[in-house]
Structure 1
Amino acid sequence: MSVIRAKFIRGEEIKYISHLDLMKAFERAIRRAEIPIAYSQGFNPHPHMVFGLPLSVGVTSQAEYGDFELSQPMNAGEFMGTLNKELPPWLKIIEAGEKRSGNNIMASIAAACYDILLSSELKTSRAFIEDKITELLMKPEITVKKTSKRGIREVDIRPMIHRVSFKELNGDNCEQRKDGGLCVGGEPPVSDSGLWLKKYIDGLSDPKLLEPSWPVENIFCLSVLLSAGSSQNLKPEIFADAFLELLGQRGGLVKIHRTELFTSLGGNLASPLDNGVIE
């Protein structure tokens, strides 16, 4: 048996399909590609695939991860190339490595990075948004109402907000990030997600598309690092609501795009494909 960990993108075309449908798409592509995937035993065998931190419906991503257990050894590069031939263009593997460590991807996730596009009723300056970011991070606690199976309860989300920064809509990463001071260990790498951002904003002004809730010029972007995984998990939608409330004017959530997932490695955050994580 061998295990391949793959990083893949999930584009606009499939942002409304469920996590179960995503798994079915991989299962069918694996069968067509004749990948030697391992199956469970019993009356209804299923392929041994585990995916990390399922996305909410409507969210796109350039950093999804899956662990694929194979019945026969296979080179990671061969696995990626063979499977990509059978996957649609909006669902593509961009990196892969052989995993020798024990924990699967779902149990390993500790944090996630998102680009969050928000709109405001009035046009706001970068200085105004950055002042609001500072105000947010200065708060000792940020209490929100969360709905669960046990009902509605109040939760302090401040410990789960590790970094917030203003991001230019021209696709360049902001150089001066506001640090929440809660990131464990060293600062995690920041993925370059400028291309999707520029393309998406340009698309909003296309007259053939539906008009957004607010004018395009009133849209701004925040890059955030939030706790994610089984122990602590802050959904970007909840963070967006908290920031819009702080803004002091009407606004709305335009778009969420995941730029990276992280695991914990020696007290620091690391890529799930880091050699120290998969070896």
Structure 2
Amino acid sequence: MRVALLQVSKVQSPLYLDSYFQNCAKQGVSLVVLPEYTFEPFFRHLQSLPSPQLVASHNVSILRELSQFAKQYKLEIITPIVVDSYTLKLSNNRLSNKFYKTIALIDSQGFRFYIQQRLISYLHWDEHAFFANKHYKRPKLPLTIEREGLKIGILSGFELHFDELFVAMKPHSYDVLIVPCANTFDSLVRWRSLCKTRAFLNSCVLLRVNRVGTEIVDQASWNFYGDSLYINAYGQIEDSLQDYEGLMIVSLRAESIHKAREVWEFHKPFSHT
């Protein structure tokens, strides 16, 4: 299976990505992954808008455009995106003022959503207070798909921090985790360590796609540094992108992932004596 990690900044329209999608189709890619805050303003700007509803409504048209690209190029596309409760079919009100941080899986037939379970809640970046995402006491599984013999889980990068989510996932033996991110500040080394640890302990490939670009927040420059990663099931970095826009295409085989699981035996249950 071939997967493409598309490391971009905010884009105004899916049309900007057309040449990337063409390239993916030519190289036999079946799944393309985008980073967080690709199609809407970055959270701190979204938070200050007088009508975030306009953004959420506009994002529905973006999803439809991406579905057309998926049909044209025979792709599936994964993108984080902000939508309202009406789009999620949680409300009958088209003018709902509740917004959700989601990850959409888009194909030629339409789209479905993973509603992020854990949100950033820091003073300088408080998604938890803004979005209506439910915080479950017992974590749900990530959005799960099976492609070419691979079980793939899709969740947010921030959710990599929460052990309880991985405890729930462990019996299901995911082969690949896909984690879109929007990482900034001086966190590159920390994120590399976290991603390598999760891949190794879960004997799975981890594909982390981060955005690039600069945002001015409170008169300070926030640099989104990229460093999208392909980490193998042994916790080793196979490939990475630097701090500029780019495309990484990776080839995945179930056999090599399952071999790592057999070698380390982390999925074996404790024996009872």
Task: Give the TM-score of the pair, scaled to structure 2.
Answer: 0.28
Task: Give the TM-score of the pair, scaled to structure 1.
Answer: 0.28
Bigger Rg, structure 1 or 2: 1
Bigger relative contact order, structure 1 or 2, given CA contacts below 8 A and separation 6+? 1
